[in-house]
Structure 1
Amino acid sequence: MNTEIEKEVIGILLNHPEKLEAIPLESDWFGYPEYRMLFEAMRKSISHDLFDVYGKYNQLSKTPLDFSAVKSMRNEFTLVSQLNNDIQLIRKSAYNRQLNSAIAEYQANPFSENEQVLREVLAKNETVESVDNGRLDEAVEELKDSLTHPKPRGISTFKKLDSVLGGGMYGSMLFTIGARPSTGKTAFSVNLAYEALMNDKEVEVDFFTLEMNKQEMLNRFISRMTGVSSSMLRSKANELNDIVKSLIDQSTATLLNSKLRVYDGLETLGEIVQTIRKNASKAKSGKYLAIIDYIGLVKVPNVKDRYIEVGEVTRELKRLTNEFNIPIVALSQLSRGIENRQDKTPLLSDLRESGSIEQDSNVVAFLHRPQKVDSDRVVQLSIRKNREGELADINFTFIGEEMTFKEV
């Protein structure tokens, strides 16, 4: 069960009671009694006034609920465009509860009547899948809301990058960052995660690393936070002085208290997708980010053609961004052809192995060292595709031994 999704639906309906008669939602789909009773109270309310809904709730439920809690649900701004998707997730969760109950009952009592119940539940699976009717009602409603309410910002990282992206990394964004090896793409993704976590303590970050293990990734995060080189942390940590060791202890405590998760044992597309689905469905709206380092190493079983394999990866990641209204950052290697050109500025055609990367991504950026800048510490993020905004070149100072990117 997912309390945040159910709470989100109640919040949307408190703000948009006109949706009550139009949505395919049943009260018994709610897993949490208080949300089920609030939904019933809204249906029975005539005026849909908050006090009236609260009064109806108290008539229906024996469990007390503070009025301030109901008011808080209404005041938490949630995009109405999320409603159908959230309802579908609630419905799937209700189906899974019913299925698990039927399986458990049949295993405990394998009688023909219990087998029939199980078959009937299994037969419902096809009807649980979402159907898009093609209408624009919710998109129009969201646009109208934006005329009178402030538009929620995306997940904030670097100020200049946030500006180019129109307020940060927004929901439904697949953001691909391409680079040649040893350019600092893993370090840059560590900085993105670090900035997102430090700018908003509620943001959850799932970091999928397919090249390094958790210890190596931890060293890179601690290096970014303390300025101690990751090589020192790896081989000579015992030689650090007590002040630095204390700083490292504080940084590890900060990371443990944050909502960062690092996965180093998931290699297949199915494993990564399943993990994102589980965690994104539980996260608060606008508070989830996934980073994948890197898509060229993600495996798709039973697919031998690498071009097709990468295409499957990017299409599935793009579906996830739309389904859960989340941003996903995917790192990618650029082809070797760039090394043979006199002008080594990356182009969209340099994306390795699949044109689907460019096609499926909302934003494509390249991390490279600009030839016209006389400094080996300047790394440029060149945004060469941006569906929602402008193209741009953002210069960073990259201090490799400290894993630090700073906007110039």
Structure 2
Amino acid sequence: MNTEIEREVIGIFLNHPEKTETSVVEQDWFVEPEYQHLFEAIRQIESNDFLDIYGKYNQLSRNPFDFKSVKRILNEAPPLSQLSNDVQLMKKTVHIREVNEAVKDYQLNPFRENEQKLLEALSKNETDDASDNGKLDEAIAELKDSMNHPRPRGVKTFNKLDFILGGGMYGSMLFTIGARPSTGKTAFSVNLAYEALMNDKEVEVDFFTLEMNKQEMLNRFVSRFTGVSSSTLRSKANEMSSILKGLINQSAEQIAQSKLRVYDGLETLGEIVRMVRKNASKTKQGKYLAIIDYIGLVKVPNVKDRYIEVGEVTRELKRLTNEFNIPIVALSQLSRGINRQDKTPLLSDLRESGSIEQDSNVVAFLHRPEKVDSDRVVQLSIRKNREGELADINFTFIGEEMTFKEV
């Protein structure tokens, strides 16, 4: 029975190699050594070409299955929809195996150390079995407690935005911000991170940039901290006065001591998901924010259809917000060309996938309102808000200083 489940999981992964990027399955979950080697081959090969995977598998294994056998596993695999159920069965089997091994070790050597290992194995198994029983007891208890004890609503940024969101960026929220090119979406996300860090020194911010490198992002953050233009930092830093140099050194040190992390080398969905999991799991509740700039550049290996790829990205980000009760801000680029008289962005303008609107708790658009006679006014128009009202928030955007200020 267990071997059959392992075979099914391997078959699904052979058909959908990209799922190994976000799956919780570990190599040592497989009892059959050849399934372990197949799993590792699938993870190591970025291509979805079966011949590439089989070639890597032959390098990893001393006694590999023949070509026809592996091809049969692929062809006889169940549909992708069965993966979640099979993974849960595998996980339960792994726990049972761990308990049995702990019992055997304790029977052979009934020492305190082995007794503790047995208790831990039993406790882990019980915790996983009862991870979600469908009851609302904990949610009801939390609601009752919130009526007697004030709780922070979420990560705070701009005052008006916090008010519209009901107190800040709350856990389980996927907040998508759409903008056309050159509107200032990266600068706005820098300001969100800046405000979050300044409002609460305990807040940790993971910033995933897929357009710029760390040096460019550092310049933007230093510009926001000091008001010195990022272009000056890039090309004329040596010409600045000693006072400005001292100010920049001070702000750079402040950034280094903050809980800001910038990632410029993680491009695939799996890499981003693993990093968020790693950091969010170690962060205090209500003290974590992830920003992704931007959705359209996140890659899902072996998925060629852009509509499907974007849908996979937004669904996985939404799962992360629920799993760790964290807010994630995801930027999305809108098309330049809008064939209508009123150029104000609409939900229908979200490019490439309806899943962006569907999976997001909040959708807002950053744009320059046509009725305002100033090129420095940028409006954040909230057009979807599951737990609150819709609104338009005006900002003064000083581009050379990377600064957004609420009007």
How high is the TM-score relative to the length of structure 1?
A: 0.69
One-letter amino acid matched to 2:313: V
Aligned to 1:4: none
In structure 1, the partner of 2:301 is 301
Equivalent residues of 2:181, 2:336 under 8 A apart? no
- Within 5 Å, give how 1:81-160 maps onto structure 2: 128=128, 131-160=131-160
- Is 1:388 the counterpart of 2:382 in the alignment? no
Distance in 2 separating the partners of 1:130 and 1:386: 33
Larger CA deviation: 147-156 vs 299-308: 147-156
Post-superposition CA distance 1:287-319 (Å, at most 9, x none): 000000001000001111100000000000000
Taking the aligned partners of 1:284 and 1:129, their CA distance within structure 2 comes to 25
Give the structure-2-normalised TM-score.
0.69
Q: Following TM superposition, by how much is the alpha carbon of 1:129 offset from its aligned partner in structure 2, in angstroms?
A: 7.6
Q: 1:175 to 1:130 in 2, by over 3 A?
A: farther
Q: Name the residue aligned to 2:186.
A: 186
SS in 1 for 2:281: helix
Q: 2:311–2:356: 8 Å Cα contact kept in structure 1?
A: yes
What are the residue-to-residue correspondences of 1:303-342 with 2, within 5 Å? 303-338=303-338, 340-342=339-341
Structure 1 residue aligned with 2:368: 369
After superposition, the C-alpha distances for 1:222-274 in whole angstroms (9 at most, x for unaligned) are 01111111011001100000000000011001000000000000000000000
Q: 1:34 maps to what in 2?
A: none
State whether residues 395 and 405 of structure 2, in contact with CA within 8 Å, keep that contact through their aligned partners in structure 1: yes
The size of the alignment, in residue pairs, is 294
Counterpart contact for 1:157–1:168, Cα < 8 Å: yes
Choose 187-196 or 147-156, whichever is displaced more.
147-156
Deviations 1:60-91 (A, max 9, x none): xxxxxxxxxxxxxxxxxxxxxxxxxxxxxxx9
Residue 127 (structure 1) shift = 9.2
Q: CA offsets, 1:91-146, max 9 Å, x none?
A: 99x98xx89x99xxxxxxxxxxxxxxxxxx9xx99995875322211111111111
- Assess, with a 3 A threshold, how the Cα gap between structure 1 residues 323 and 152 changes in structure 2: closer, same or farther: same
In the alignment, structure 1 segments of 5+ residues that lack a partner are 1-90, 103-120
Q: Which structure 2 residues correspond to residues 5-404 of structure 1 after superposition, within 5 A?
A: 128=128, 131-338=131-338, 340-404=339-403
Q: CA, structure 1 residues 222+371, in 2 after alignment: closer, same or farther (shift >3 Å)?
A: same
How high is the sequence identity, in percent, across the aligned residues? 85
**Secondary structure, in 3 states, of the residue corresponding to 1:252?**
helix
CA pair 149-214 structure 1, distance change in 2 beyond 3 A: same
What is the CA RMSD across the aligned residues, in angstroms? 2.5
Amino acid at match of 1:306: R
Once residues 131 and 281 of structure 1 are traced to their aligned partners in structure 2, the CA distance between those partners, rounded to angstroms, is 16
Retained in 2: the 8 A contact 1:171–1:321?
A: yes
Q: Which range moves more in the overlay, 318-327 or 149-158?
A: 149-158
Are the aligned partners of 1:378 and 1:395 in contact in 2 as well (CA < 8 Å)? yes
Q: Which residue of 1 aligns with 2:114?
A: none
The secondary structure found in structure 1 opposite 2:175 is strand
Answer yes or no: is the 8 Å Cα contact 1:337–1:350 preserved in 2: no
Deviating runs (4+, > 4 A) in structure 1? Answer: 124-131
